[in-house]
A and B are shown apart, each in its own frame.
Chain A
């Protein structure tokens, strides 16, 4: 089948049935439910341990109120991590390359933090718009800049994830194509390109994990400011 470079970014449809739902629900099938047994198998033990460790680390800077978000943030992290990692497999569709999904995750969560902050501690939340120790002349300008910075956060969150993943996938495609095309023509260059592809894949694995973590970390930071 002839693949163009942007086929992987199109939301998959099969006989008119949108498969995006299945693509988004797929990570849920990969993680076993914790069993009622006292000692579980290796996969479950590791899963439990890693989720516990991660949640503990993430919630360290948050106060008691912020701990209510533990389930949401942990599940978001696992969701994004699995989507990103599964997207590295060939012929797969990565939902997180779609700006709609990422903005759909970022805007409501960011807005929730802002509303919580404005509702419970409005002065404290508004106080973040002016850093300490600014000279009096700069105050109006700084307020405007900080407000823009606040309002750009959801866009930044969504676009960061989308851009990183899309760029990574596209780079893999391009370098793989280069390697594939160069193989009959200049084999040595093709071998070098394949080595580059290998390194790039390593990078992409790292980026997949880091981007998911950064998304959740930034959300927890926004929460910490406001809760």
Chain B
């Protein structure tokens, strides 16, 4: 019986006990009110019943309506009630009988209440197919190994010689059917036995397969659960990684913008530098052209003629020099 049934049974038991107690207390209080001796009927009566209590004749004369009264005889009533409650306790409901045989489970124990030994798995050992091994064990101390065989041969000889068994045509028929039977058993016996064993083994294998399948699926479920727990543990690592990612993104963004700002500022400064360079260059060119212009304008025509005559004399001297070098 599983725990649920036991609890249910005990509940019912307590309920019935309560009921019985209630009934008994009810009657006890009734007894207090009436304080009657149950074996002899009412002795002291409550006021309401006094009218009926003082003998039949007076009661009859007292009552105007003329109704007859009866003595209460509760002697059998309480005993009836006790009987009723006891039988209801024993056989109450579906579990009344089960309460008594609570110790026998249905399929794993023999159903008899006597201490019966368990059934043997294999049949008794036999020699030559028929004769039980116990006979040989019985005769071994006195007659040794050949004892039972001597007994058999002697018995057979006795039966044949005293013509207790007469050999007739039935003997031949018996020999024939005996031969067929023994041949059949010897040839087909092992295969039939193996077939029967296989039937049983298949049954066991089916049940075992169900059990193994259930076990593997449960083990798999345990593995999956552990994996899920491990995954749940890695939650914080995941969040740290995410946080790192976000921080990196922010950092990257910040640096990009910093670069951008630097570039812009540099561009503006470069522009200013270029502007200054331009200014200087223009000033320089202007000055140079002004100096050239002023020098050119300061050259007088006299100076120009003198310089040209000087150039011609220089050129003549040069020509002479080269001529002299060439002829020399």
Contact = CB atoms under 8 A, between A and B. Distances in A.
B176 A201 contact: yes
Contacts of B199: 45-46, 49
Contacts of A177: 169
B170 A90 contact: yes
Contact of A173 (B173, B177, B200): B173
B324 interface: no
A125 interface: no
15 contacts: A40-B200, A45-B196, A46-B192, A46-B196, A88-B177, A90-B171, A90-B174, A179-B172, A180-B169, A180-B171, A180-B172, A198-B176, A198-B179, A201-B177, A205-B180
Contacts of A114: none
Interface string B160-189: 000000111111111011011000000000
A50 to B, nearest CB: 10
Contacts of A89: 174, 177
Which size class do A's interface residues fall under? Answer: 20 to 34
A40 B197 CA distance: 10
In the complex, the 7 A-B pairs of residues with the closest C-beta atoms, listed nearest first: A90-B174, A176-B169, A177-B169, A42-B196, A176-B172, A176-B173, A201-B176
Given A91-B174, A176-B170, A194-B172, 15 more contacts: A40-B200, A45-B200, A46-B199, A49-B199, A88-B177, A90-B173, A172-B173, A172-B176, A173-B169, A180-B168, A180-B172, A197-B172, A198-B179, A200-B176, A201-B179
A1 B166 contact: yes
**B interface, over-half SS:** helix
A152 interface: no
A10 B166 CA distance: 20
Q: Please indicate which of the listed interface residues B169, B174, B197 has the most CB atoms of chain A within 10 Å of its own CB.
A: B169
Interface in B185-221: 192-193, 195-197, 199-200, 203-204
B71 interface: no
B4 interface: no
B279 interface: no
Given A42-B197, A46-B192, A202 B180 contact: yes
Contacts of B176: 172, 176, 194, 197-198, 200-201
B77 to A, nearest CB: 48
